Amino acid sequence: MPATRIVVNIPDEKAYDVRVGSGIIENLGSRLREIEAVANSPQLLVISDDQVAPLYLDQVKSSLKKARYQVSDIVIPAGESSKSLELAGEIWEAMAGLGIGRDCGVVALGGGVVGDLAGFVGSTFMRGLPVVQVPTTLLAMVDSSVGGKTGVNLEAGKNLVGTFHQPVYVCADVDTLQTLTDREWRCGLAEIAKASVIDSDDFFFWMLDEQTALSERKVEAVNEAITRSVIFKAGVVAADKTESHGVRECLNYGHTLGHAIEVLAGYGTFSHGQAVAEGMRFAARLAHRLLGTSSELVQTQDQLLDGLGLNPVVWSASPEAMLNAMKKDKKVRGARVRFVLPRDIGVWETQEVGDELLLEALGEWQRTKQILASNA
């Protein structure tokens, strides 16, 4: 199957390609020789993590070396805790030691953690080097590698320090997904489901038709889902590069309740995907109540999430604790919590929801969860 090329064209930025295909890491080096920003780079630094590096680092390095790049690498511990200023500082020092100059480039090989951290150090070292993203998780292919958000976490919260720095190329080699765990697979599926609800009937009903094929990682369906998601994300970012025009925040659909679940249940108790899927279920019900969104949408979305293996979480916290957690989220402006709500498939809006109403909706959510738990 030939690779698919999607051009990301963002106003005031150099357009870049996202390629989605099987075995395309093999030609990464020769492809980079065609990209102006890195065509003549004397050295490329590959940053990866210690779970991905044993699987794909040699392949990436040999492709780059075949294209006669000098290549160095830094391998970081896998996991969210690597998105830290401390590790960023160590990488900056190591980059200086490796003689990385303004004409060099950074290649991020891994999931969203590597992509965000490598993007951050790449965008800040010597005031900004070209960054190539080689995403290896489904989530990173459909979401984090495209759009230029980079960052690290602080004690005070996730992604509080970062930059907007678009990559010069994204190489999504779907062969790398074969080694992904089911848990990580479903995290990617949740972001694709989110995109489909926000995007269009065409995408959403295609997802419903292909839910089994996607759960079983059937190649054609997977390539198509990634392509559709990247086209969707590229369109959103082109309309609102810095999340300041009220468009990019649609990508937070499901994340308001989702983040509260992750914080209160403890990070890792539920996967990010499960938490986001639960957040989508809650937001659709809130939309039914506030906007008159059809119960058919609520039920069809439930069907899709069930079919993708993103089952309802059997856990709850008090409405007050959930509300507090939502208010601590950096995306909350002022005193009221904002939700992305679907009016229909492909039609969404944001709404600030008052505490009283939200506590009532959370109370209903908690009761449903308690019933689920007692039947489990």
Binding site for ligand NAD (CB under 6 A): 49, 51-52, 55, 78-80, 83, 110-114, 116, 136-137, 139-140, 143-144, 147, 149, 158-159, 176-177, 179-180, 184, 187
CA distance 325 to 258: 10
Name the one range near ligand GLY by CB under 6 A: 141-149, 171-179, 278-286, 356-364.
141-149
147 binds ligand GLY (CB under 6 A): yes
Q: Least distance to ligand GLY from the beta carbon of 283, Å? A: 15
Crossing angle for the helix pair 201-215 and 182-199, nearest 10 degrees? 160
Q: Which of 60, 197, 251, 276 binds ligand GLY (CB under 6 A)?
A: 251
Nearer to ligand NAD, 194 or 281 (CB): 194
- 159 vs 366, beta carbon nearer ligand NAD: 159
- 3-state class (DSSP) for residue 100: coil
Alpha helices in 12-140 (DSSP H): 28-32, 36-39, 53-66, 85-97, 112-124, 138-139
Using CB atoms, what's the residue nearest to ligand NAD? 112
Examine residue 132 and tell whether it contacts ligand GLY (CB under 6 A).
Answer: no
Is there binding between residue 248 and ligand GLY (CB under 6 A)? yes
Decide which of ligand NAD, ligand GLY, none touches 111; Cβ closer than 5 to 8 Å per partner kind: ligand NAD
Pair 259, 329: CB distance under 8 Å: yes
Work out whether 151 is an interface residue with ligand GLY (CB under 6 A): no
**CA angle at 209 for the pair 290 and 365, rounded to the nearest 5°:** 30
Residue 61 burial (CB < 10 Å; 0-12/13-18/19+)? Answer: buried
Which has the closest alpha carbon to 234: 3, 4, 1?
4
Phi and psi at 160, nearest 5°, equal -80, -15
252-189-275-285 Cα dihedral, nearest 10 degrees: 70
Cβ 187 to ligand NAD shortest distance, Å: 5
Q: Which is nearer to ligand NAD, 280 or 362 (CB)?
A: 280
* Least distance CB 113 / ligand NAD (angstroms): 3
Q: Which does 140 bind (CB under 5 to 8 A by kind): ligand GLY, ligand NAD, none?
A: ligand NAD
Q: Which residues bind ligand GLY (CB under 6 A)?
A: 143, 147, 149, 248, 251
